[in-house]
Amino acid sequence: MESAPTPSTSAPAGATGLVAHARKHWPSALALAIAGLFLLGMLLASFSRLASGQGNTALAFAFAAGMACFAANALGAAPALLLRSIPKRAEHVLLGIAAGMMLAASFFSLLMPAIDVATTLSAQRGTALLVVVAGLALGTLLMLGLDAFTPHEHEHSGPCGPGNARVGRVWLFVFAIALHNLPEGMAVGVAFAEADLSVGLPVAGAIALQDMPEGLVVALAMRAAGFGALRAVLVSVATGALEPIGALLGVALSSGFAIAYPLGLALAAGAMLFVVSHEVIPETHGEGHETPATVGLMAGFALMMVVDTLFA
């Protein structure tokens, strides 16, 4: 992986270039606008509850869990101080395990509680399912918009996003990892929105565990690009800073009114499922390591399922 900028056909940087990019990718721009307006409404609705101090416990839990994920990312990056690389096969297996854990957390720790809570609130299973599907859709719209308007790189399709030609390939990869750390942090925050440890701990545990291989992969990618060991580790650690920020955003989004909690759980699940399908799984395929990566995914899924069951 080289640090030199990669040629691109993207629009020029600046306001004009951003407008041109938005016109070219108008469905993604519309998706981001819809998701952004809805998230803004949820934030405004939650302000009175948080301002009154009713959400202090949830905020404290969410921030602590976000910091734990940040620490796990840093712990995973630390071996890069001594290692310059690991075999690609091992890297893909680690990412497969992380993908499996994220999938299981989405189902067992986010979607199932979302359905249960929405059913309790609406007293109708059909209405509850509509709420959860709406949350999934919003999470998908949010990630579609962020994916289109954040400069980053997919291993399978190359650089994308406005202004990517001005950013070195290694930094595009770093931005890609940072981009999916945000919904992970949001998932942690939403899971703790009711200060319920039985919901929050499995999600936080799964994300913290899968942050460790991600932290190592980012640090090793930077080392392979020629960066010094300390700088590579520090940059990898910095990508985890979005975890506690996302956690605070997640708990705020889910604290305004009753239906916001299951909606927020489903939104976080939708964002995480998008990341797994769009970013993590494709990164483990294409170099002949599909089978070990898939075995790793199944192992990660089983591990998270067991953890979630034990905490339930």
Token pair, residue 239, equals: 């990508």
Mean pLDDT, residues 286-292: 84
pLDDT at site 129: 92
| Amino acid present at 259 | I
Q: Convert the pLDDT of each residue in 72-102 to its tens digit.
A: 999 999 998 888 888 888 888 888 888 898 8
Answer whether 289's CB lies under 8 Å from 89's CB: yes
Strands (E), the chain: 152-154, 158-160
Model confidence, pTM: 0.71
Tokens of 240: 């985890």
Tens of pLDDT, residues 134-150: 989 888 888 877 777 66
CA distance 216 to 203: 21
- Going by the DSSP 8-state scheme, the letter that residue 257 receives in this structure is S
Q: What is the mean pLDDT of residues 159-177?
A: 56
> What's the average model confidence in pLDDT over 94-113?
87
What per-residue confidence (pLDDT) applies to 287? 78
The predicted structure's pLDDT at residue 170? 58
16-30, 172-186, 231-245: the lowest-pLDDT one: 16-30
Task: List own/partner pairs for 231-237 with CB under 8 A and 24 or more apart.
Answer: 232/77, 232/80, 233/77, 233/78, 233/80, 233/81, 235/174, 236/73, 236/74, 236/76, 236/77, 236/80, 236/174, 237/70, 237/73, 237/74, 237/77
d(CA 205, CA 217): 19
Q: How far is CA 193 from its chain centroid?
A: 17
User: Residue 7: what pLDDT?
Assistant: 42
Give the residue, 30 or 210, on which the prediction is more confident. 210
**18-22, 82-86, 224-228, 233-237: segment of lowest average pLDDT:** 18-22
